[in-house]
Each structure stands twice: as C-alpha cells, then as structure tokens.
Amino acid sequence: MFEVLAEVTGDLKSVQAGLGCLGAAIGVGLAAMKATEAVGRNPDASGKILTQAIIGMALAEAVAFYALFL
C-alpha cells in the first residue's frame, strides 16, 4: 500500500511525514477532548488538568517532528 502512495506522491518520505503528522493531530485532539471532559467533571482541578494536557499534547507533537525530520 505504501509503495502505491509513494508512486503517487513521488517520495515515501512525504507519506511517512503525512502519516506522522496525522497521528500527532489525532493525539492532540484526543488529549484536548479528554482534558475538557475532565474539567467539566471537576472544575476545581483545572490547573492540574491543564498542566497534564499541555505535557501530553507536547509529547504528541514530538511525534510529528520526528516524522518530519527523520
């Protein structure tokens, strides 16, 4: 399957970068969704939840950078 995509796009590296960025976008979206759910359930813990959500989003974005630059 990847070989067909590589022929269409011209390079397998671009397919790898696209899939890596797609995975990072899904990860950031899930982290944000769960963080808003958690704040909705317990508004008093919003500071701790925000901190954990930012760390999780940063780790998910690191995957995109690895996919783009490796």
> Residue 61 half-sphere exposure, CB side, CA atoms within 13 Å?
8
pLDDT of residue 58: 92
At residue 1 the predicted structure's pLDDT band, cuts being 50, 70 and 90, is: low
Of 58 and 14, more confident: 58
Instruction: Compare 41 and 1 and report the one with higher pLDDT.
Output: 41
Whole-angstrom CA distances from 13 to 39, 59, 63, 69 are: 39, 22, 15, 10
24 burial (CB, 10 Å; 0-12 / 13-18 / 19+) is: buried
Which residue did the predictor score with more confidence, 8 or 57? 57
Compute the distance between CA of residue 31 and CA of residue 25 in angstroms, rounded to an integer: 10
pLDDT of residue 44: 96
Q: Is the pLDDT of residue 69 over 90?
A: no
